């Protein structure tokens, strides 16, 4: 690998633990964070609706797919957090293998832990995961508002405006679930925050699309589906199902727009987008190292934990791999995998996720996520 492979990350090796841990959230006590937006706002005087029929179809569908987080979710349900985390822990036993083995070593950071600490770790991990979902949704809220400003096509502006409302609703319901059903929330993960800053700050409108609609939203769609499958808690399951119905349209929006736009870019411009996509993928992987959880649990030396997670056996990384099940086929649909002698394909092979490339791209499967009569309940 060359230094330029990870220029945005500021490191030469994706697994450089010292560089991963060097990033710290200096704003975790702040109530606001300011990010410069380098993009131009674009007016278009061409108001022909439907010039891009697939985008127009997505817009029409979104208008009829709005739901109300206050009325359509049953907030009267009592949530037993101990039961929620117990269910998830049972399903996640394999992926927790590296941590379990580390706990058995003589110099383990967990050597003084008992059942109480392990149970608390499960709770903290769930709170942390849902908190990062919430922060990511705010990132999507801001990024989509920027897309409304910067995309030059009226059909795309129309659709992006509906996504702004979707994202506000997602932030609202995750925040309410964390505040009223669990035990509070976590600040934004430092790796996620750096990625969101890069997405918002970029001067090219399609980079905001690529970073948010394809990478962040693509990972979120897979992660929501995984958690929806694992949990039996009815309110969380319903909340995730409603959010997933929106997210699939959001990712499809990115695929439909960028598929057209990327046909007109030079190879050098495409290569820049390949690098941005992979660097985003590494940041999202680093996010799931959950440094903030170890800090809250009072562990001062987390390096052995990060090392165990990064060097886990392939079968123990199944959750992290599944997160790319939407990203890889969508990158293939955009022509990013094999451009420039297959640079991005090689990178995805290195992190063992290329096998997902022939799954259906989200622009053709988003209808499968639409809410049906079985998903809708009267509250």
Calpha distance 88→227 (Å, rounded): 8
Q: Which tokens go with 367? A: 């209808």
Query: Considering the domain boundaries, does residue 265 fall inside one?
Result: yes
Instruction: Please give the residue range of the domain that contains residue 147.
Output: 52-63+80-369
Query: Considering the domain boundaries, does residue 277 fall inside one?
Result: yes
Calpha distance 290→190 (Å, rounded): 10
Q: pTM of the prediction?
A: 0.91
> Is the pLDDT assigned to residue 1 strictly greater than 60?
no
Query: Considering the domain boundaries, does residue 29 fall inside one?
Result: no
Q: What is the pLDDT, as a whole number, of residue 42?
A: 93
High-pLDDT (> 90) share of the chain, %? 59
Answer for the pair 214, 327: CB distance below 8 angstroms, yes or no: yes
**Angle, CA 354 vertex, CA 252 and CA 347 arms, to 5°:** 100
Mean pLDDT of the 293-310 span: 89
> Is the pLDDT assigned to residue 3 strictly greater than 80?
no
Helices marked H in the chain: 17-22, 53-63, 81-91, 97-103, 115-150, 154-180, 190-201, 205-208, 217-230, 234-261, 267-287, 291-296, 303-310, 318-322, 327-333, 339-350, 362-365
Query: Considering the domain boundaries, does residue 125 fall inside one?
Result: yes
Choose the weakest-confidence range: 1-5, 51-55, 246-250: 1-5
pLDDT band for position 376 (cuts 50, 70, 90):
low
Calpha distance 71→78 (Å, rounded): 17
Calpha distance 247→140 (Å, rounded): 10
Q: What 3 state SS string does 243-274 have?
A: HHHHHHHHHHHHHHHHHHHHHHCCHHHHHHHH
pLDDT band for position 363 (cuts 50, 70, 90):
confident
pLDDT band for position 379 (cuts 50, 70, 90):
very low
Look up the CATH number of the domain holding residue 346: 1.20.1260.10
Q: Which residues contact 184 (CB under 8 A, 6 or more apart)?
A: 127, 178
Query: Considering the domain boundaries, does residue 38 fall inside one?
Result: no
Mean pLDDT of the 121-138 span: 93
**Total number of domains in the chain:** 1
Q: Which tokens go with 202? A: 């970029």
> Is the pLDDT assigned to residue 261 strictly greater than 80?
yes
CA 334, 335, 340, 346 torsion: positive or negative?
positive
Query: Considering the domain boundaries, does residue 344 fall inside one?
Result: yes
Query: Considering the domain boundaries, does residue 72 fall inside one?
Result: no
142-184 confidence digits (pLDDT tens) = 999 999 999 999 999 999 999 999 999 999 999 999 999 998 7
Query: Considering the domain boundaries, does residue 15 fall inside one?
Result: no
């Amino acid at each position: 690998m060359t230094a330029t492979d990870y220029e945005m990350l500021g490191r030469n090796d994706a697994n450089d633990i010292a560089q991963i841990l060097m990033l710290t959230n200096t704003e975790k006590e702040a109530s606001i964070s300011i990010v410069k937006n380098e993009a131009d706002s674009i007016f278009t005087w061409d108001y022909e609706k439907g010039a891009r029929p697939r985008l127009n179809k997505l817009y029409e569908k979104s208008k009829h797919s709005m739901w109300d987080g206050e009325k359509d979710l049953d907030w009267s349900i009592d949530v037993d957090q101990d039961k929620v985390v117990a269910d998830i822990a049972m399903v996640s036993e394999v992926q927790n293998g590296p941590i379990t083995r580390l706990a058995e070593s003589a110099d383990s950071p967990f050597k003084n832990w008992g059942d109480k600490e392990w149970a608390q770790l499960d709770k903290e991990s769930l709170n942390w995961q849902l908190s990062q979902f919430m922060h990511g949704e705010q990132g999507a809220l801001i990024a989509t508002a920027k897309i409304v400003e910067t995309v030059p096509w009226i059909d795309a502006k129309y659709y992006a405006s509906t996504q702004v409302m979707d994202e506000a609703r997602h932030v609202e319901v995750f925040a309410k679930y964390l505040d009223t059903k669990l035990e509070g929330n976590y600040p934004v993960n430092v790796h996620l925050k750096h990625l969101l800053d890069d997405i918002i700050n970029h001067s090219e409108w399609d980079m905001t699309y690529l970073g948010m609609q394809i990478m962040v939203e693509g990972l979120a769609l897979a992660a929501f589906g995984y958690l929806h499958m694992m949990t039996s808690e009815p309110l969380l399951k319903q909340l995730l199902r409603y959010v997933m119905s929106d997210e699939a349209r959001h990712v499809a929006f990115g695929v439909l727009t960028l598929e057209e736009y990327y046909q007109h870019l030079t190879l050098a411009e495409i290569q820049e987008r390949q690098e941005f996509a992979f660097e985003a993928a590494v940041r999202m992987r680093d996010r799931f190292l959950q440094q903030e959880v170890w800090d809250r649990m009072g562990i001062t030396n987390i390096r052995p934990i990060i090392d165990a997670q990064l060097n886990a056996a392939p079968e123990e990384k199944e959750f992290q791999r599944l997160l790319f099940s939407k990203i890889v086929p969508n990158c293939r649909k955009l022509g990013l995998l094999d451009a420039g002698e297959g640079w991005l394909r090689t990178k995805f092979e290195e992190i063992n996720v290329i096998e997902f490339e022939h799954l259906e791209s989200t622009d053709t499967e988003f209808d499968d996520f639409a809410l049906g009569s079985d998903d809708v309940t009267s509250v």
